[in-house]
């Protein structure tokens, strides 16, 4: 709505009223603002937004106006006449319509002006100035009731400017982490306590101390006799002294023979070996010097190979090396395998086992063992024996352990063919509720004597070599069975057996009384009993009617004996009274030592100048060679 025109008289009255009011306001403290440019108040083309028209305020000489707000932010001047310019300025602003002052109607509440984009401080200053104008009532004359003024002239509440939202609290800057405390230098550690040296193992056995002279005979075209590389050492028909194993300087106390190699033990715990070393049976590295020498003589006119020397390393007994301080007390030899037991019950071995198909291996991880290696599975061993391709060890608690080839059940347990290498791991032989006193072996079968004197056998039994005859399985060649687990040998219970040995398919035994017994295959006189003297009910005949197998053990000599030994198909026994050696069996290779290359049907005394004055103590037999050991008859031994 356009403002009404104001007359000069009314303008003068309004000017006087306004001047008086400004004088009162000037007396009160007013917050000052920065001057506002005049263009904003006078120019119609100002860029500022137009203000909504304010409702006219009734001016009375009796009461101050409801709201007196200075038009400019400048401080009010003293009362003076208005200049034409001021009047012109007043004309531009709409003046409130004056009404008779007799009756005053309460002014309608002014609508709050729309919020302007102005600084909040200016509004605050205006409000303060309005409040400060209240004392101007005294100038008008009458005191004003404050309560009425508050009711009638209460200014519209100015909406409080919303407080600006507090800025989001900044996350406190994390305190810089304290530098990690340096770890104090470690205290110097006390020098580690030296571990106490392991207690030395208890000594369980000692090597035999009696020094012996050694004699060899048979066929040794590959150095099996151990008599050196001389050509005349290949075939020896009667016992010959082995100068390399001198009784005084070397002092042999025990002997063993395998298929084609030999071993002996000295009185101070050393081991010598000789013979064929193709599969590591000697436990030492050998050269091929002998082969080279043989090749050099191939162009000679001689057609006799006996004139060619042997390999010196193989045909001559030489020491086997063990860890320092090792003392060997027991030895055993198989076809291509050798074992040695220490005084503390440990076992060393070398060579390899063979099976029906060829080389089986020394262990599950080693095919051929060229030098001695410790067999970790065996502890506290006091005795050891070998068949052709298996071994049995006895510990000090009476438990027997077997390993090697198990194709003929010579291990006393079943070995699956596809995992046959598992047989090379020593396992205990199960003999229920029995302790073993001694162990013994043939080529493919085994024996154990328990502490109560009973004999158990297992392994190949095709000719009743285990001493167990099973008639229901009888065939032309004999029993033709395999004894798979240790089985009691009842046929030997009339004697107290103290020693046993065996060949390929026969066995011999020695009783505590010195009785010499034999049984098994007999077609090559292996049992030492003439065919005419054998009871027909105790033999199995071949297709031609000749005795082929003795199924019951028999005493074969009236003399008493102290030691026995078996080769593949021949045997030797040492007679007790004279200390003489008797031999029998297959003798084509001179392994019986009697001079002639023939079979020997019955035990026959070995006599020649070499052993004439010797008291023999022991014997050992291989495939086609034999060895004897003894002391001179004039020597008194402890």
The rounded distance, in Å, linking the Cα atoms of 371 and 426 is 19
Residue with the two structure tokens 């007359």: 7
Q: Would you say residue 303 has pLDDT above 50?
A: no
pLDDT digit string, tens, across residues 345-398: 999 999 999 999 999 999 999 999 999 999 999 999 999 999 999 999 999 999
pLDDT above 70 covers a percentage of the chain that reads 67
528 dihedral zone (left: phi>0; alpha: psi -120 to 50; beta): left
CA–CA distance, 318 with 245 (Å, rounded to integer): 10
Tokens (6 digits) for 289: 């010097």
Of 627, 607, 608, the residue nearest 617 (C-alpha): 627
Q: CA 525: distance to chain centroid?
A: 56
**pLDDT computed for residue 415 by the predictor:** 84
- The predicted structure's pLDDT at residue 420: 80
- Give the sign of the dihedral formed by CA 4, CA 8, CA 13, CA 18: positive
Question: What is the spatial distance between Cα 562 and Cα 633, in angstroms, rounded to a whole number?
Answer: 16
Per DSSP, what are the bridge partners of residue 619? 628
Instruction: Tell me the mean pLDDT in the region 83-109.
Output: 48
CA distance 293 to 299: 12
| 460 or 136, which is more confident | 460
Average pLDDT over residues 115-136: 45
Is residue 4 very low, low, confident or very high in pLDDT (cuts 50, 70, 90)? very low
What is the distance between the terminal CA atoms of the chain, rounded to a whole angstrom?
Answer: 156
Q: What is the mean pLDDT of residues 487-502?
A: 98
pLDDT of residue 400 exceeding 50, the answer is yes
Q: If DSSP codes are grouped into helix, strand and coil, which group holds residue 112?
A: coil
Task: Find how far residue 606's CA is from the centre of its chain.
Answer: 59
User: Whole-angstrom Cα distance, residue 221 to residue 300?
Assistant: 19
Q: For residue 59, which phi and psi values (nearest 5 degrees)?
A: -105, 130
pLDDT of 133 above 50: no
The residue count for the chain? 638
Helix (H, G, I), strand (E, B) or coil at 39: helix
> Cα(460)–Cα(503) distance, rounded to whole angstroms?
11
Judge whether residue 66 has pLDDT over 60: no
pLDDT in tens, 236-269: 999 999 999 999 999 999 999 999 999 999 999 9
163-194 residue pLDDT tens: 666 666 666 666 766 666 777 777 777 777 77
Ranking 14-18, 175-179, 332-336 by mean pLDDT, the lowest is 14-18
Quick check: helix, strand or coil at residue 571?
strand
The C-alpha angle with vertex 389 and arms to 466 and 529, in degrees rounded to 5, equals 35
> How many Å separate Cα 319 from the centre of its chain?
37
| pLDDT of 35 | 47
Residues 71, 57 contacting (CB under 8 angstroms): no
Domain ranges of the chain: 213-632
**475 strand-pairing partners:** 478
- Average pLDDT of span 109-130: 46
DSSP state of 547: E
Helices and strands (H, E) in the chain, number of each type: 8, 31
- The CA distance from 216 to 625, in Å, is 8
Complete edge-to-edge strand list for the sheet that includes strand 213-219: 235-241, 213-219, 625-632, 614-621
Give me the pLDDT at residue 201, please.
86
Model pLDDT, residue 203: 95
Q: How confident is the model at residue 306, as a pLDDT? A: 61
CATH 3.40.50.150 assigned to domain 213-632? The reply is no
Cα(99)–Cα(83) distance, rounded to whole angstroms?
Answer: 26
Q: What is the dihedral of CA 409, 414, 417, 423, to 10 degrees?
A: -80
- Asked whether residue 2 carries a pLDDT value surpassing 70, the answer given is no
Rounded Cα distance, 215 and 528, in Å: 23
Q: With 0-12 CB in 10 A as exposed, 13-18 as middle and 19+ as buried, what is 334?
A: buried
Asked whether residue 318 carries a pLDDT value surpassing 50, the answer given is: yes
Specify whether the CB–CB gap between 338 and 372 falls below 8 A.
no
What is the C-alpha separation between 393 and 330, in angstroms, rounded? 11
pLDDT on residue 305:
59
CB atoms within 10 A of CB 63: 19
Using pLDDT thresholds of 50, 70 and 90, give the confidence band for residue 59.
very low
Structure tokens at 260: 């084609």
Residue 609's CB is within 10 A of a number of other CB atoms, namely 8
Confidence of residue 56 (pLDDT cuts 50, 70, 90): very low
- C-alpha closest to that of 379 among 341, 352, 335: 341
Average pLDDT over residues 286-299: 53
Is residue 571 within 8 A of residue 585, CB to CB? The reply is: yes
pLDDT score, position 135 = 47
| Confidence bin at 628 (pLDDT 50/70/90) | very high
Per-residue pLDDT, 421: 85
Judged against a pLDDT cut of 80, whether residue 97 lies above it is answered with no
Environment class of residue 180 by beta-carbon count within 10 Å: exposed (0-12), middle (13-18) or buried (19+)?
exposed
Rg (C-alpha) for the chain, rounded Å, is 65
In whole angstroms, give the CA distance from residue 393 to residue 383: 6
SS3 (DSSP) at 529: coil
Q: Give the Å distances, CA to CA, from 602 to 213, 232, 248, 573, 611.
A: 27, 29, 35, 12, 20
Q: 22-31, 195-204, 476-485, 591-600: which range is least confident on average? A: 22-31
> Which residues sit opposite 347 in a β-bridge?
341
Q: Are 133 and 72 in contact (CB under 8 A)?
A: no
pLDDT at 31 over 60: no
Q: Which residue has the higher pLDDT, 562 or 17?
A: 562
Sorting pLDDT into bands at 50, 70 and 90, what band is 25?
Answer: very low
Q: Is the pTM of this model over 0.75?
A: no
| Choice among 110-114, 157-161, 202-206 with the minimum mean pLDDT | 110-114
What average pLDDT does the structure give for the chain? Answer: 80
List all residues 6 or more positions away from 364 whose beta carbon is below 8 Å from its beta carbon. Answer: 421, 422, 424, 425
DSSP tag of 478: B
Token reading at 256: 């063993």
* pLDDT at site 323: 97
- Cβ neighbour number for residue 511 with a 10 Å cutoff: 18
208 vs 212, 325, 331, CA distance in Å?
Answer: 10, 18, 11
**Is 282 a residue whose pLDDT tops 70?**
yes
**What is the maximum span of the chain, computed from C-alpha positions, in angstroms?**
184
What secondary structure, in 3-state letters, does 118-138 show?
A: CCHHHHHHHHHHHHHCHHHHH
H/E segment holding residue 620:
strand 614-621
Q: CA-to-CA distance for 388 and 404, rounded, in angstroms?
A: 10
Local confidence band at 304 (pLDDT 50, 70, 90 cut-offs): low
């Amino acid at each position: 709505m356009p403002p009404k025109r104001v007359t000069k008289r009314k303008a003068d009255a309004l000017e006087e009223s306004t001047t008086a009011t400004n004088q009162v306001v000037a007396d009160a403290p007013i917050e000052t603002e920065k001057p506002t440019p005049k263009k904003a108040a006078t120019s119609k083309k100002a860029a500022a937004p137009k203000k909504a028209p304010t409702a006219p305020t009734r001016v009375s000489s009796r009461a101050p106006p409801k709201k007196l707000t200075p038009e400019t932010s400048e401080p009010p001047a003293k009362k003076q006449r208005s200049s034409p310019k001021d009047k012109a300025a007043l004309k531009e602003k709409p003046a409130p319509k004056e009404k008779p002052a007799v009756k005053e109607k309460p002014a309608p509440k002014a609508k709050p002006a729309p919020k302007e984009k102005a600084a909040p401080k200016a509004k605050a200053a205006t409000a303060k100035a309005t409040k400060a104008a209240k004392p101007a009532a005294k100038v008008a004359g009458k005191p004003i009731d404050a309560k009425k003024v508050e009711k009638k002239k209460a200014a519209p509440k100015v909406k409080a400017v919303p407080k600006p939202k507090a800025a989001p609290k900044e996350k406190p800057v994390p305190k810089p982490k304290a530098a990690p405390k340096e770890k104090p230098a470690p205290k110097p550690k006390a020098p580690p306590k030296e571990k106490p040296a392991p207690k030395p193992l208890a000594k369980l056995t000692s090597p035999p101390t009696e020094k012996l002279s050694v004699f060899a005979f048979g066929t040794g075209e590959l150095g099996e006799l151990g008599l050196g590389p001389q050509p005349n050492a290949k075939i020896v028909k009667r016992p010959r002294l082995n100068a390399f194993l001198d009784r005084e300087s070397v002092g042999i106390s025990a002997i063993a023979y395998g298929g084609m190699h030999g071993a002996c033990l000295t009185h101070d715990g050393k081991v010598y070996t000789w013979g064929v070393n193709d599969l590591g049976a000697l436990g030492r590295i050998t050269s091929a010097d002998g082969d080279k020498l043989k090749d050099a003589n191939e162009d000679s006119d001689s057609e006799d190979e006996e004139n060619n020397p042997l390999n010196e390393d193989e045909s001559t007994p030489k020491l086997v090396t063990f860890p320092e301080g090792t003392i060997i007390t027991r030895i055993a030899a198989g076809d291509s395998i050798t074992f040695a037991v220490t005084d503390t019950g440990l076992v060393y071995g070398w060579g390899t086992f063979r099976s029906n198909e060829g080389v089986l291996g020394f262990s599950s991880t080693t095919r051929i063992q060229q030098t001695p290696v410790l067999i970790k599975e065996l502890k506290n061993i006091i005795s050891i024996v070998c068949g052709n391709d298996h071994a049995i060890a006895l510990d000090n608690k009476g438990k027997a352990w077997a390993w090697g080839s198990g194709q003929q059940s010579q291990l006393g347990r079943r070995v699956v063919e596809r995992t046959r290498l598992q047989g090379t791991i020593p396992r205990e032989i199960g003999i229920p509720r029995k302790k073993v006193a001694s162990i013994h072996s043939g080529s493919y079968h085994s024996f154990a004597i328990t502490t109560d004197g009973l004999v158990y056998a297992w392994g190949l039994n095709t000719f009743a070599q285990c001493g167990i005859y099973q008639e229901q399985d009888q065939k032309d060649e004999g029993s033709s069975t395999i004894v798979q687990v240790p089985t009691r040998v009842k046929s030997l219970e009339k004697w107290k057996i103290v020693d046993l040995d065996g060949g390929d398919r026969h066995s011999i035994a020695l009783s505590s009384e010195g009785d010499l017994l034999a049984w098994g295959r007999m077609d090559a006189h292996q049992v030492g009993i003439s065919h005419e003297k054998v009871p027909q009910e105790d033999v199995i005949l071949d297709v031609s009617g000749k005795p082929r197998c003795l199924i019951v053990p028999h005493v074969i000599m009236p003399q008493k004996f102290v030691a026995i030994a078996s080769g593949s198909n021949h045997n030797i026994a040492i007679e007790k009274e004279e200390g003489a050696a008797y031999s029998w069996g297959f003798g084509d290779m001179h392994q019986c030592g009697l001079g002639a290359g023939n079979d020997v049907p019955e035990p026959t005394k070995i006599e020649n100048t070499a052993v004439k004055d010797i008291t023999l103590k022991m014997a050992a037999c291989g495939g086609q060679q034999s060895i004897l050991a003894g002391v001179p008859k004039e020597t008194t031994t402890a």
